[in-house]
Amino acid sequence: MTRVLTVSALVYCHFIVQTSSPTALKLTEVCSSMAHTGTHSQPVRSCLLLVVVSVCVQQVHGVWPLPQQLHQSADRGCLSPQRFSFTYGRDSAAQTGCSVLDAAFKRYFSIIFPDFTKGSENRLQYVWSEPQPFVVSVSVKTGGCDGYPDEDSDESYNLSVSEGQAVLRSVTVWGALRGLESFSQLVYQDDYGSDAMAYSKFNVFHWHIVDDPSFPYQSRTFPDLSNKGAFHPFTHIYTQSDVMRVIEHARMRGIRVVPEFDSPGHTQSWGKGQPGLLTPCYKGGVPSGSFGPVDPTIDTTYKFMESLLKEVKFVFPDSYVHLGGDEVSFACWQSNPNVRKFMEKMGFGKDFTKLESFYMESIMNMTAALNRTSIVWQDVFDYHERIPQDTVLEIWKGEKYQAELSRMTQAGHRVLLSAPWYINHISYGQDWRNSYAVQPQNFSGTEEQKKLVIGGEVAMWGEYVDATNLTPRLWPRACAAAERLWSNEEKTLNADLAFPRLEEFRCELLRRGIQAEPLFVGHCKHEYDGL
Amino acid sequence: MTRVLTVSALVYCHFIVQTSSPTALKLTEVCSSMAHTGTHSQPVRSCLLLVVVSVCVQQVHGVWPLPQQLHQSADRGCLSPQRFSFTYGRDSAAQTGCSVLDAAFKRYFSIIFPDFTKGSENRLQYVWSEPQPFVVSVSVKTGGCDGYPDEDSDESYNLSVSEGQAVLRSVTVWGALRGLESFSQLVYQDDYGSDAMAYSKFNVFHWHIVDDPSFPYQSRTFPDLSNKGAFHPFTHIYTQSDVMRVIEHARMRGIRVVPEFDSPGHTQSWGKGQPGLLTPCYKGGVPSGSFGPVDPTIDTTYKFMESLLKEVKFVFPDSYVHLGGDEVSFACWQSNPNVRKFMEKMGFGKDFTKLESFYMESIMNMTAALNRTSIVWQDVFDYHERIPQDTVLEIWKGEKYQAELSRMTQAGHRVLLSAPWYINHISYGQDWRNSYAVQPQNFSGTEEQKKLVIGGEVAMWGEYVDATNLTPRLWPRACAAAERLWSNEEKTLNADLAFPRLEEFRCELLRRGIQAEPLFVGHCKHEYDGL
In DSSP notation, B413-438 reads -EEEE-GGGBTTS-BSS-THHHHHT-
Provide the pLDDT for residue B391: 96
Task: Return the CA Rg of chain A.
Answer: 25
> Distance between CA atoms of A293 and A271, rounded to whole angstroms?
9
> Distance between CA atoms of A104 and B526, rounded to whole angstroms?
34
- How far away is chain B from the Cα of A430, in angstroms, using its nearest Cα? 8
Provide the pLDDT for residue A415: 97
Nearest CA in chain B to A523: B231
DSSP annotation of A62 reads P
DSSP annotation of A468 reads T
Catalytic residue among B306, B311, B327, B504: B327
The amino acid present at A417, given as its one-letter code, is L
pLDDT tens figures, A508-524:
899 888 999 999 999 99
- Torsion, Cα of A36, A40, A42, A43 (10° steps): 60
- Nearest of B272, B316, B311 to residue B291 by alpha carbon: B272
pLDDT tens figures, A360-381:
999 999 999 999 999 999 999 9
Q: Give the strand pairing for A453-461 and A5-11.
A: antiparallel
A327 is catalytic: yes
> Distance between CA atoms of B315 and A368, rounded to whole angstroms?
73
Nearest CA in chain B to A514: B468
Other CB atoms within a 10 A radius of the CB of residue A388 amount to 14
pLDDT tens figures, A477-510:
999 999 999 899 988 989 999 999 999 999 989 9
B interface with A, Cβ–Cβ < 8 A, is 2, 4, 213-214, 231-232, 235-236, 424-430, 462-473, 510, 515-523, 525, 527-531
The amino acid present at A256, given as its one-letter code, is R
Name the phi and psi angles at A290, rounded to 5: -100, 165
**Which residues lie closer than 8 Å to B221 by C-beta, 6 or more apart?**
B307, B308, B310, B311
Cα-to-chain-centroid distance, residue B461: 14
Once rounded to an integer, what is the mean pLDDT over residues A168-182?
Answer: 94
Task: Return the CA Rg of chain B.
Answer: 25
From A232, A464, A523, residue closest to B518, measured CB to CB: A464
Nearest CA in chain B to A193: B531
Question: Please, which pLDDT band fits residue B197 given cuts at 50, 70 and 90?
Answer: confident
Indicate whether A36 pLDDT > 50: no
Instruction: Please judge whether B519 and A464 are an interchain contact, meaning their C-beta atoms are less than 8 angstroms apart.
Output: yes
Contact A482, A438 (CB under 8 A): no
Residue A293: cis peptide before it, omega within 30 degrees of 0: no
Nearest CA in chain A to B515: A468
- Nearest of B528, B505, B503 to residue B515 by alpha carbon: B528
Q: Give the strand pairing for A320-324 and A256-263.
A: parallel
pLDDT tens figures, A454-473:
999 999 999 999 999 999 99
Q: Is residue A26 exposed (0-12), middle (13-18) or buried (19+ Cβ within 10 Å)?
A: middle
Chain B hits for A527, CB-CB cut-off 8 Å, are 235-236, 466-467
Indicate whether A131 pLDDT > 80: no
Provide the pLDDT for residue A74: 61
Contact B322, B261 (CB under 8 A): yes
ipTM summary value: 0.79
Selected residue with higher pLDDT from A36 and A427: A427
Which of A249, A432, A468 has the most B C-beta neighbours within 10 Å, making it the best mutation to test the interface with B?
A: A468
Provide the pLDDT for residue B193: 44
> Measured on CA atoms in the order B283, B287, B289, B290, is the torsion positive or negative?
positive
pLDDT tens figures, B366-402:
999 999 999 999 999 999 877 899 999 999 998 899 9
Q: Kindly provide the b/e burial profile for residues A348-378, where b requires at least 16 CB atoms within 10 angstroms of the residue's own CB.
A: beeebebbbbbbbbebbebbeeeebbbbbbb
Q: Is residue A393 exposed (0-12), middle (13-18) or buried (19+ Cβ within 10 Å)?
A: buried
Name the phi and psi angles at B394, rounded to 5: -120, 130
**Which residues lie closer than 8 Å to A194 by C-beta, 6 or more apart?**
A513, A514
Residue A133: cis peptide before it, omega within 30 degrees of 0: no
Q: Is residue B370 exposed (0-12), middle (13-18) or buried (19+ Cβ within 10 Å)?
A: middle
Which of A423, A460, A466, A524 has the most B C-beta neighbours within 10 Å, making it the best mutation to test the interface with B?
A: A466
Indicate whether B20 pLDDT > 80: no
Provide the pLDDT for residue B143: 86
Nearest CA in chain B to A526: B235
Q: How many helices (H) and strands (E) does chain B have?
A: 19, 17
pLDDT tens figures, A201-228:
899 999 999 999 999 999 999 999 999 9
Question: Please, which pLDDT band fits residue A78 given cuts at 50, 70 and 90?
Answer: confident
Instruction: Please judge whether B525 and A235 are an interchain contact, meaning their C-beta atoms are less than 8 angstroms apart.
Output: yes
Chain A hits for B465, CB-CB cut-off 8 Å, are 517-518
List the alpha helices (DSSP H) in A163-261: 173-186, 196-199, 224-229, 240-252
DSSP annotation of A371 reads T
Chain B hits for A235, CB-CB cut-off 8 Å, are 525, 527
> Distance between CA atoms of B262 and B207, rounded to whole angstroms?
11
Alpha carbon of B495 to those of B185, B417, B430, B439, B489: distances in Å? 21, 20, 10, 13, 12
Alpha carbon of A90 to those of A137, A158, A172, A174: distances in Å? 9, 16, 16, 19
When the pLDDT of each residue in chain B is averaged and rounded to a whole number, the result is 83
pLDDT tens figures, B411-429:
999 999 999 999 999 999 9
Provide the pLDDT for residue A75: 65
Chain A hits for B236, CB-CB cut-off 8 Å, are 523, 527
Residues facing residue A135 across a β-bridge: A85, A165
Cα-to-chain-centroid distance, residue A494: 24
Instruction: Please judge whether B521 and A213 are an interchain contact, meaning their C-beta atoms are less than 8 angstroms apart.
Output: yes
Which of B521, B524, B525 has the most A C-beta neighbours within 10 Å, making it the best mutation to test the interface with A?
A: B521
Chain B hits for A530, CB-CB cut-off 8 Å, are 467-468, 530
Once rounded to an integer, what is the mean pLDDT over residues B152-167?
Answer: 89
Residue B476: cis peptide before it, omega within 30 degrees of 0: yes
Instruction: Please judge whether A214 and B523 are an interchain contact, meaning their C-beta atoms are less than 8 angstroms apart.
Output: yes
Provide the pLDDT for residue A64: 87
Question: Please, which pLDDT band fits residue B31 given cuts at 50, 70 and 90?
Answer: very low
Weakest-pLDDT range from A130-144, A264-278, A328-342 = A130-144
> Distance between CA atoms of A282 and A284, rounded to whole angstroms?
7
Residue A476: cis peptide before it, omega within 30 degrees of 0: yes
Which residues of A24-133 form beta strands (DSSP E)? 28-33, 45-50, 69-70, 84-88
